[in-house]
Structure 1
């Protein structure tokens, strides 16, 4: 009898069912709003960025592969000299080198926190990682100016400003992010993988290197790509140490520039609708496209790791 009453309550159009419909409606509205905002961002940046090619009639090939950046002066063809290759190269080099430098440290810290000394790692390394994540970018920039730039100047000569300074600053910035995601990937490996390896006579290091790391490799690669995405879009800290010279980088110790450094430095000094402003929006469009590429790569890696 009681079971029948319970079934009738569950099947009846009660207050709970109305709340469920209301909750689904609120969820749908929130998701639709997020999709709309993202679509508008893409539309706005694309509209402004493509004006360089469709309104100002600048050759896309010369924009992407030109090496001279001086929008206020005209070149031999009568068009502004807006070669973006130096900034694209600087952004890619800084991002790749910082990711290559951070990955071994992140994997080592993750192994220590999950397999070597989980208790000590949770007490010491975890608070340090959380602290590094919460430090503002401007603080990293000031530390780079006060510590990294003078150290590189005294070691390698030159001004100290350049790609190498940016690599060290971004290395510290993305290290906690890559480490945290790597730790989560290591913890997500089924425990019976480790037990089976040890049961077959493998040592602890053989189990870590040949079983656990291989099983967690999709998650680790996702962490690295996520760190690269953050490094590629970092603006303030890298602007303070890279030198902001819009020229092709000749070495790691000479001043250079990135897409974000040129954007933050010039966007407030141009008039909306002018060529000088439109080319900056084109750089922003490149940044947005690269962020989309990073997201697609992360999804492909994660999808491959499911099989």
Structure 2
């Protein structure tokens, strides 16, 4: 280290001695006044760079540990049903007999799985046309205050707590369904209508971003060829944004599939295979939220509920995988 400092000292002395341009000559500077140790130490900016990188990597490591811990914890408790309690996994997935307190032969989640997918698909099916229409209105037909008003409404819908949606469904939608279709008013139809409102802003916002990302040159080229406004939207805008619209729909389905409180308040919480849209039923999330506090840790009923949570986690990972798959195909 001393040899390097001596070499650097020699370089500085030579540079000062050989200056020949008058206006850049350092007058009054003695080579001995140059602090070589200070020149070789990391600068303030370099230390800030090190701190920034260190904090960034620390945050990434902590997030990774948190994700692994969540997956490991849910997986450990969810698999206990099949490892410790010896429940047949095919019986769990395809049987409709759900009464874990009666023994391992009564742990069948098929009714809740079917109901969860039915509610999710119906909500996405109803919300998608409305979301695309609103997104087209915001990006292709209007601008200014009307668009800002719609954006404010969408932000308001996102900010409303789930319990408020559930309470409105319980007080408004349930009586309306009971009056129109009969029955108790609880069921898949009621939960679907509530989820439709809840996923509408998610799909709309992502779809609007997809339309905004399309280059204006494509629209101008279509108009130059004589296409009308709607022909441009149908043949150019919608097709160019098709993959991103699919991504928006999947995000909306993920939101609907994981919704718990609002669905629990409107679906009836009866673990039965639904035979129509207005019969009481139960989803994976509604059963979890209503029963988890009534079980003892480590028992079969508790492990069975953890298995439902593991199934929800797997579905979340599947939705994320589909989003990445569609993104890769679009590129």
- TM-score with structure 2 length normalisation? 0.87
Question: 2:71 matched to which residue of 1?
Answer: 42
- In structure 2, stretches of 5+ residues that fail to align are 1-20, 25-39
For residues 87 and 240 of structure 1, the distance between their equivalents in structure 2, rounded to whole angstroms, comes to 15
The superposition leaves residues 139-181 of structure 1 with CA deviations (integer Å, 9 ceiling, x where unpaired) of 0001101111111111110000000000000000000011011
For residues 78 and 176 of structure 2, the distance between their equivalents in structure 1, rounded to whole angstroms, comes to 39
The structural deviation recorded for 1:122 is 2.0
Q: Any residues of structure 2 matched to 1:202-217 within 5 Å, and which?
A: 202-217=227-242
Q: Any residues of structure 2 matched to 1:241-256 within 5 Å, and which?
A: 241-256=266-281
Question: 1:105 matched to which residue of 2?
Answer: 130
Question: 1:297 matched to which residue of 2?
Answer: 322
Say if 2:118 is the partner of 1:89.
no
Question: 2:312 matched to which residue of 1?
Answer: 287
The structural deviation recorded for 1:80 is 4.1
Question: 1:6 matched to which residue of 2?
Answer: none
Preserved CA contact (<8 Å) 1:48 1:282: yes
Instruction: Summarize the Cα distance change of 1:194–1:246 in structure 2 as closer, same or farther, 3 Å threshold.
Output: same
For residues 88 and 48 of structure 1, the distance between their equivalents in structure 2, rounded to whole angstroms, comes to 19
The structural deviation recorded for 1:127 is 0.6
Preserved CA contact (<8 Å) 1:244 1:257: yes
SS of equivalent residue, structure 1 residue 197: helix
For residues 309 and 242 of structure 2, the distance between their equivalents in structure 1, rounded to whole angstroms, comes to 32
Question: 2:8 matched to which residue of 1?
Answer: none
The superposition leaves residues 108-161 of structure 1 with CA deviations (integer Å, 9 ceiling, x where unpaired) of 000000011122442321110010000000000011011111111111100000
The structural deviation recorded for 1:12 is 8.7
Question: 2:11 matched to which residue of 1?
Answer: none
In the alignment of these two chains, the number of paired residues is 295
Question: 2:59 matched to which residue of 1?
Answer: 30
Instruction: Summarize the Cα distance change of 1:12–1:195 in structure 2 as closer, same or farther, 3 Å threshold.
Output: farther
Question: 1:270 matched to which residue of 2?
Answer: 295
For residues 252 and 304 of structure 2, the distance between their equivalents in structure 1, rounded to whole angstroms, comes to 27
SS of equivalent residue, structure 1 residue 68: coil
SS of equivalent residue, structure 2 residue 99: strand
Question: 1:7 matched to which residue of 2?
Answer: none
The superposition leaves residues 244-273 of structure 1 with CA deviations (integer Å, 9 ceiling, x where unpaired) of 000101100100000000000110010000
Q: Any residues of structure 2 matched to 1:1-307 within 5 Å, and which?
A: 13-74=42-103, 79-306=104-331
SS of equivalent residue, structure 1 residue 244: coil
For residues 52 and 171 of structure 2, the distance between their equivalents in structure 1, rounded to whole angstroms, comes to 52
For residues 218 and 17 of structure 1, the distance between their equivalents in structure 2, rounded to whole angstroms, comes to 43
SS of equivalent residue, structure 2 residue 106: strand
Question: 1:8 matched to which residue of 2?
Answer: none
Task: Give 4+ residue runs of structure 1 displaced > 3 Å after superposition.
Answer: none
- In structure 1, stretches of 5+ residues that fail to align are 4-10
SS of equivalent residue, structure 2 residue 102: strand
The answer to which structure, 1 or 2, has the higher relative contact order (CA under 8 A, 6+ apart) is 1
The superposition leaves residues 77-97 of structure 1 with CA deviations (integer Å, 9 ceiling, x where unpaired) of xx3401000000010000000
> Which structure would you say has the larger Rg?
2
SS of equivalent residue, structure 1 residue 67: coil
